[in-house]
Chain A
Amino acid sequence: MNVMNERPALNSPIQPEDFPERSPLLRVENVHAGYGKKEVLQGVTLSLAPGEIVAVIGANGAGKSTLLKVVAGLIKPAAGRVIFRGEDITNLPTYRRARGGIAYLIQGGAVFPSLSVGDHLELGRAAARRGGRVSCGVLPFPALEDRASSAAGLFSGGQRQALASATILSTEPALLLADEPSAGLAPAAAAELLATLAAASRERGLPVLWVEQRVADVLPLADRAVLLRSGLVAAETSSPGDWLDGETLAHLTFGRGA
């Protein structure tokens, strides 16, 4: 698909080499978090460099979504810290993090059913302005063509998820937390959405912490992959393609021999 090539260099992509002392953009330090008494994350530590796309994979209940919620500020960790751009944001509420450039793409892509596509993008642009950023307002998603004035409540699943992604991108975030943006979509539509989202992120130099069940679709798009098991980082790789082979993956995910 054709992803905008002629975008002006308003904010040129941030590359890892711009940060010679390799300070990570995001650092999650020894985070313990859960729901009530149930501790889902049992000491997770990971870092994300500027411009890096990191896939987070793991079995159901391994703590992938919980990890994103902690970074987004929806769950307060019982212990540990979240550091963004060198600042401890562990106690900031979600909206303050969003204004600071942390965009959270909710599982399955949440939209506002009574608002039009135009309203969504207006909200996104307002969020960008509020954070002192300029939104380019480009809609790279083919599913949204010619739907600018329709209410999102009338959309198909694929259109909703594309709209949720487009809205998040229009806030010109500094970090994207994507929680299974393709959940519930047919395989072809899911693959297309993921590829578009990855291409748009690459083009902006936008780092992504990407939770995804569709491992075979997301690993080839990522720079690095992290595997969670029982609330802990069980494995990491800088060549995510190596994990594509099914036996390796089953072994990593469930911790048993193939």
Chain B
Amino acid sequence: MNYLWHILVMISIYAILAASLNLVTGYSGLLSLCHAAFYGIGAYVTTLLMMRAGFGFLPAMALGAALTALISLAIAIPSLRLRGDYFVLATLGFQVIIFGVLYNWVSLTQGPYGIPGIPIPVILGIPVDTVFRYALLSGALAVACLVMIRAVARSPFGRLLRAVRDDEIAAAALGKNVPRIKITVFALGAAFAAVPGALFAGYMRFIDPTSFTLAEAIFILSIVVIGGAGSLAGPVLGAAFMVLLPEALRFLQMPDAVAANMRQIIYGLLLVVLMRFRPQGFLGKYGFE
């Protein structure tokens, strides 16, 4: 049974990550390769606030979200004036820098050794000390984040985001301050990405930089694309698919010697086939152009 609750925790974490990136990439059309950096900043800030400043889990998470949004401005303000491809490269650079900082700022992050012994989150006096309880906590936070993200997407601001994605010049011609809209949504996406960071840290009770690499950023982006960019339920479905698929492949009867590699190959192949026959993802209305 714990196995199922574990999967629910992982799906919750990736659903929030994908839904927050979907605000940036799906609704606003900003392809970003540094979402794992914000995920990692959220995890480290929450951890350090809990361990060094004695904060509770939820206040540490909230502060972590605010700080992540602030740090995201450092990339957003200079690079969002760049066009398309150049912006993607700038986010890639930022992702590499953040990994480098987490890896090398040993006095703060303990670098490659990681931070062990992260305290168990305590919510309203109840320690979240079983996998079942953790599944409840992460499920509840996922629902809260998804409801908030849905409210943003359906608000007049959400309409602006889609307008900017569809045609920046036409949006500017309607009096919209396009760079400011992009910077705002980028910071908002970063703040939401800090929440699963906190969840991950409290769940694993150990973090190190290898959880927040470029490969992880690409994984989050694939969830968005597979689930359907710009749709509300897409990131949840995409997260469930990407978390469950490798699990499902475990049950295939394969000789032990090739099993691990075969799983990787089938996994990759399914993604290629999906993109060939359903490029807009499971639930998306519009593909990437």
* Number of residues on chain B facing chain A (CB within 8 A): 21
CB neighbours of A153 from chain B (8 A): 286
Given contacts A98-B175, A99-B175, contact A119 B159 (CB under 8 A): yes
Q: Which B residues are CB-close (under 8 A) to A122?
A: 156, 159
**Is there an interface contact between B174 and A115, defined as CB atoms closer than 8 Å?**
no
Known: A95-B176, A112-B171. 8 other contacts (CB 8 A): A105-B173, A112-B162, A112-B167, A113-B286, A114-B165, A114-B166, A127-B176, A168-B173
How far does the Cβ of A37 sit from chain B's closest Cβ, in whole Å?
A: 20
Closest 4 CB pairs of A and B: A98-B175, A112-B166, A110-B170, A94-B172
Interface presence of A124 (CB below 8 A): yes
Asked if B175 and A171 make an inter-chain contact with CB atoms under 8 angstroms apart, the answer reads yes
Tell me the minimal C-beta distance from A150 to chain B in angstroms: 13
**Listed A/B pairs (9) with beta-carbon separation below 8 Å:** A95-B172, A96-B175, A98-B174, A106-B170, A112-B163, A114-B166, A119-B159, A122-B156, A131-B175
Query: Are A98 and B173 neighbours in the complex by a CB distance under 8 Å?
Result: yes
Contact of B163 among A96, A115, A130, A164 (CB under 8 A): A115
Residue B238, interface by CB 8 Å: no
B172 touches A93 (CB 8 A): yes
Across the A-B interface, how many residue pairs have beta carbons closer than 8 Å? 74
Residues of chain B with a CB closer than 8 A to A126's CB: 156
Determine whether B80 belongs to the interface, using a CB cutoff of 8 Å to chain A.
Answer: no
* Known pairs A114-B285, A114-B286, A115-B162; A98 contacts B172 (CB<8 A): yes
- Residue among B167, B175, B176, B230 with the most chain A CB within 10 A? B175
Contact B166 A113 (CB under 8 A): yes
A72 within 8 A of B: yes
B244: min CB distance to chain A, Å: 29
Interface bits A117-153 vs B (CB < 8 Å: 1, else 0): 0010011101100110000000000000000000001
Q: Given contacts A113-B166, A114-B286, A115-B159, is CB(A123)–CB(B173) below 8 Å?
A: no
Q: Which residues in A have their C-beta under 8 angstroms from that of B286?
A: 113-114, 153
B178 contacts the other chain (CB 8 A) = yes
**A78 at the B interface (CB under 8 A):** no
Is residue A103 within 8 Å, beta carbon to beta carbon, of the partner chain?
Answer: yes
Bound-state CA distance A93–B162 (Å) is: 21
Say how far B170's CB is from chain A's closest CB, in angstroms.
Answer: 4
A84 within 8 A of B: no
Chain A residues, Cβ within 8 Å of B160: 123
For the complex, is A104 an interface residue (Cβ under 8 Å from B)? Answer: yes
